[in-house]
Structure 1
Amino acid sequence: MTTINLRPWQADCANKAMDWLQAGEDRHFLINAAPGAGKTICASVIAQRLFDAKMIDRVIVIAPRTTVVNQWADEFKFVTGRAMLKITGADDDPENYGVDLCATWSAIQSSLDGLQAVCRKDRTLVICDEHHHAAVEAAWGDGANGAFADAQFTLILTGTPIRSDGKESVWLAYDDQGLIDHPEGGTYTLTYGEAVDLDYCRPITFHRHEGKFSVKLDDGENISVSGTEETQFSAGLKRIRGLQQALDYYKLACTPKYLPSGAADTNSYQASMLEWCIEKLNDLRLRMPEAAGLIIAPNIPVAEYMADLLELLDGEKPVLVHNRVSNPEGKIAAFRNSKKRWIVSVAMISEGVDIQRLRVLAYLPNAQTELYFRQAMGRVVRNFGPQDDSRAYVVMPTHRVFEEYARRVEAEMSPAKLRPSDTPDTKVCPDCGAECPKDETSCQICDAEFPVRGPRMKTCEACGSLNTLGAKDCQSCGEAFGHDFEISLNDALRVGAIIRGMDLDEEEVQEGEAVRDVFRKGVLSSGDDQLIKILKHLPEESYGRLARMFENNQ
């Protein structure tokens, strides 16, 4: 067993759980803590204390997917020193093993009788991770309820306790409004906003990304579709069945665009999203050389398209994981421990998957629920260590539903306490970790050369000449790089940010980014402690609005 310095919330939660379970009023304890706050470590500590108190004989953990099962086994052994058998398929019988177990939700369905026998034979602590999977009316919930009805104790772990479909989960009571009504004494809650204030999670900024699509119909008529304006249909077009659904803005935002050669088009909406993400990741890696980005795609074809775009735009082939690639769990584990920049996923990196260095998320999911939204943002807010001063960023299509979710996340944070990331005049050496001036080409301590990212190039299909990716026409022959599509993209741009309770338009955001360095340098060089203190609470995206206020008052 390892001695662990617990975060204050983990220590308070473990003490509260022990008091509740030892009192014997209810054998269920609920830990409702933000993704990335450290629920796995906390639950493992509670398990160890129950072992020490001679209150349990075994532990069974249920987790959402194989990657999370592997993480559980590693962290549980780190905390308790006890090996944990991992069950991820239907071939293992838990009755045959006298050890602690960790299984996926799907795997336990074939072992319900064996798990029930274990709970009846031994005093068992069941740790139910991502509890929203266990809906009462769903098969997994029914199975879990029967298999673990005789467990000695149950720890219920969640970061998103309310299911988007409104179904209730087993082992918890609900009030008339559908909210969890578990006793306060048996519950520990830590919101995302609280986790940010306490520096357990990184603060997050949501960037809306608008695209204006011009859809050319068979009769030659063009229809304009965007995320900020209502699509106008003539009376005749309204009568065409399925047309409005086909021209849904989000559907168009998830539609790949290809060149006549079959290559991914770098002038597409998705490419414009990725260009912003690449630029932001480049900035982040000055301070956090390990920082990485995640692309969540709605399906495999779009994921493959995004992976091709990333290789064209960023010069590095990303890791691609979905249920049809070989060994996706191994690829995720390898990416976690590497310094590769990007990973593209279809439903493989969501709840519970811990890759602490992820900081940028391009969000184009299939599911549009708040539960999935919060689980996805939880992938990029995990703290990387005591020196981590980074922010997390999500770029998402302009979409009313996503914006509502983002504003609710923002509402949880306390602007008075939230410290946005600083943008110091130094960068971190990726080899030795030394702080170096931003304009240095090599480290002053270890002489390691800083990587230089040159402009990415594309080849003109007409004459074969190389051009920068952003070029609209070939510099050699003048051939236009734009192409006609049956559904073509006229324009793609960011349309502002939602951050710390402010709704900024894109012009303000760009102004803030333009004056950021000058503004910060002026305040820091003034030596005025009060001004510097104020600066620490201002997100850089708001500097443009502040500058406008000064200009208007002159």
Structure 2
Amino acid sequence: MLRDWQRGCVTSAIDHFNYHKHFFCLATPGAGKTVMAATVGKMLLEAGKIDYIVCLSPSRTICESVRATFKKLLGRPFSGRIGSVGVSLTYQSLLGGNHSVLADLVNSRVFVVLDEIHHCSGSEFVQGNAWGIELLRQISSLATFTLSLSGTPWRTDGDPITFASYDGSGLGLSYQWKYGLSDAVTDKVCRLPKVIALDAVKITKHAYGPPKSYSSIAEFLKDNDNSYLVLLSNESLTFEVLKRGVERLTKLRKISPTAGGLVVAASYSHARFIKQMLEDYFSQKVVLVSYKDDDSIRQIEEFRQGTDQWIVSIAMVSEGVDIPRLQVCCHLSATKTELYFRQVLGRIIRVTKDQTDECFFYTLAEENLISYAKRLEQEVSGSYIKENLTEEKVVANPVEGMPGKSKEPHDISVYLEDGSEFKTNGSSSADEDLVGLPSALVSSALSIDGIRERVIRVLMNSQPAL
């Protein structure tokens, strides 16, 4: 059964295709865009307006999820083989030249679904990325109709999104349907997010000369000699973020025993460290998924259907992956773009029948991340719904309860895998390969004297003003 917004969007798309070729749906992560797209495809098939459906998405994980949804809703094979009604491919698969499946569709009427289209850039006037170039070359002439989907419709490089239309200034995105997070929360389609940012009362740096103290994470990062990766590598700060996530998830599982949590790590080695901490200190059942593992898609599916508490990933469960039982996220990634922040948040906001209508997002109080959380309140039209911080408290000892740790403030050795923040470039096998595994270990020492919580309750739309 379709939700009201899906039903409205389907009707709008079918009407739009009577006169136009391209339809852009902007809907918050977790709203159910894939089901809506499959319904449009089903109606076009039944009306005799198309012969075949091609779905394109940015990763193998999303690709498989889309394939399963279309197969289930259409009630027909969706494998790309003889007798199937469609195929689900990655954008990356287009880079090898003319795809064999697409080559056979030259004389067919084809409905093309472009999932997470913001990954593709370029137009007839602007040179785009590799994925966008191939879309324009192979898909533009092939498609009878295209349906572009995105919950985060902007790019950090500022390039135009492929097949998207913009206003006269070139800055405002034109779309045919919009369904924001404020709408989704009101309709009880998505949960109300609560972002909890942990700040340090005092950070003392002991390496490289006399000790140097900072009163917050923001002050620490204003020093050009310091990096966010140092904080992510700090055992005490990691412990504090995970402790709060575990405590929250434990409470939620008393209501819904299958509620799960997601940790987004900075690298594969970082993910392994987090997995060990969750298992050794908190006695949690944890699954680590990575593109390094050939059976990662199976692991994700088993976690989706299972009851383990946590899934740890680098970028593999950050976008487009549907695990509805996720309700808590610990964001410990080195990637601090707004697009990535919102996509990760989208993994925990999907409403389920047996879970509460709130979700919880834990991170460090880095200024960019805080600004993104506050900007969630911004409506697309430019209006704001703001709330003051509802809670601010100081935890005197950040390591209390950690096995084997002193209850006094102390130095903590930090082993930093020296690397830089990554920028996506169109690779479908994202994950740790995009992060770029560091090559050297740098040792420094920090003392963390206390933790301050900043809780931001959010009731907002998922997109900034366009």
Do the two structures share a fold, i.e. TM-score over 0.5? Answer: yes
In the alignment, structure 1 residue 402 sits paired with structure 2 residue 369:
yes
CA positional deviation for 1:309? 0.9
In the alignment, structure 1 residue 284 sits paired with structure 2 residue 275:
no
Contact 2:77/2:84 (8 A) holds in 1: no
* Structure 1 residues 325 and 481: alpha-carbon distance in aligned structure 2, compared to 1, 3 A threshold: farther
- Which one of the candidate residues 149, 155, 160 is aligned to 1:163? 155
Residue 488 of structure 1 corresponds to: 446
Residue 203 of structure 1 corresponds to: 192
Contact 1:407/1:498 (8 A) holds in 2: yes
Contact 1:360/1:392 (8 A) holds in 2: yes
Q: Secondary structure of the equivalent of 1:35?
A: coil
Q: Normalising by structure 2, what TM-score?
A: 0.81
Residue 515 of structure 1 corresponds to: none
Deviations 1:12-58 (A, max 9, x none): 11111111102x2x201111111110111111011010011100000
* In 2: Cα distance, 1:112 partner to 1:225 partner: 56
CA positional deviation for 1:487? 1.5
Contact 2:53/2:87 (8 A) holds in 1: yes
In the alignment, structure 1 residue 218 sits paired with structure 2 residue 208:
yes
Q: Normalising by structure 1, what TM-score?
A: 0.69
Matched residue count: 408
Contact 1:64/1:351 (8 A) holds in 2: no
CA positional deviation for 1:177? 5.1
Contact 1:208/1:396 (8 A) holds in 2: yes
Residue 109 of structure 1 corresponds to: 95
Residue 73 of structure 2 corresponds to: 79
Contact 1:296/1:362 (8 A) holds in 2: yes
- Which one of the candidate residues 232, 236, 240 is aligned to 1:272? 240
- Which one of the candidate residues 1, 8, 12 is aligned to 2:8? 12
Q: Compute the RMSD of aligned alpha carbons.
A: 2.7
Contact 2:348/2:359 (8 A) holds in 1: yes
**Which sits farther off after the overlay, 221-230 or 59-68?**
221-230
One-letter code aligned to 1:18? I
Contact 1:119/1:152 (8 A) holds in 2: no
Residue 247 of structure 1 corresponds to: 226
Contact 2:203/2:216 (8 A) holds in 1: no
Contact 1:67/1:329 (8 A) holds in 2: yes
Which of these two proteins has the greater Rg computed from alpha carbons? 1
One-letter code aligned to 1:255? S
Residue 139 of structure 1 corresponds to: 130
One-letter code aligned to 1:405? Y
One-letter code aligned to 1:368? K
One-letter code aligned to 2:233? T
CA positional deviation for 1:213? 2.7
Residue 549 of structure 1 corresponds to: none
One-letter code aligned to 1:144? L
- Which one of the candidate residues 377, 396, 402 is aligned to 1:469? 402
Deviations 1:251-300 (A, max 9, x none): 2221144xxxxxxxxxx110011111111111111112111111001111
Contact 1:63/1:104 (8 A) holds in 2: yes
One-letter code aligned to 2:219? E
- Structure with more helix by fraction: 1
* In 2: Cα distance, 1:318 partner to 1:232 partner: 31
CA positional deviation for 1:60? 0.2
Deviations 1:397-430 (A, max 9, x none): 11111111111113349999x9xxxxxxxxxxxx
One-letter code aligned to 1:469? M
Percent of aligned positions with the same letter in both sequences? 29
- Which one of the candidate residues 150, 169, 178 is aligned to 1:189? 178
- Which one of the candidate residues 332, 335, 338 is aligned to 1:364? 332
* In 2: Cα distance, 1:315 partner to 1:359 partner: 19
1:82-97 alignment, distance < 5 Å: 82-85=76-79
* Structure 1 residues 217 and 113: alpha-carbon distance in aligned structure 2, compared to 1, 3 A threshold: closer
Identify which of structures 1 and 2 has the higher relative contact order when contacts are C-alpha pairs closer than 8 Å and 6+ apart. 2
Deviations 1:516-537 (A, max 9, x none): xxxxxxxxxxxxxxxxxxxxxx
One-letter code aligned to 2:136? N
CA positional deviation for 1:74? 1.3
Gaps of 5+ in 2: 123-127, 388-398, 414-443, 461-466
* Structure 1 residues 482 and 489: alpha-carbon distance in aligned structure 2, compared to 1, 3 A threshold: closer
* Structure 1 residues 494 and 282: alpha-carbon distance in aligned structure 2, compared to 1, 3 A threshold: farther
Q: Secondary structure of the equivalent of 2:277?
A: helix
Contact 2:259/2:355 (8 A) holds in 1: no
Q: Secondary structure of the equivalent of 2:147?
A: strand
Q: Secondary structure of the equivalent of 1:339?
A: coil
* In 2: Cα distance, 1:162 partner to 1:128 partner: 15
Deviations 1:316-350 (A, max 9, x none): 24111122234211111111111000111011101
Gaps of 5+ in 1: 87-93, 234-243, 258-267, 419-457, 459-466, 475-479, 503-554
In the alignment, structure 1 residue 121 sits paired with structure 2 residue 113:
no
Residue 292 of structure 2 corresponds to: 324
Residue 149 of structure 1 corresponds to: 140
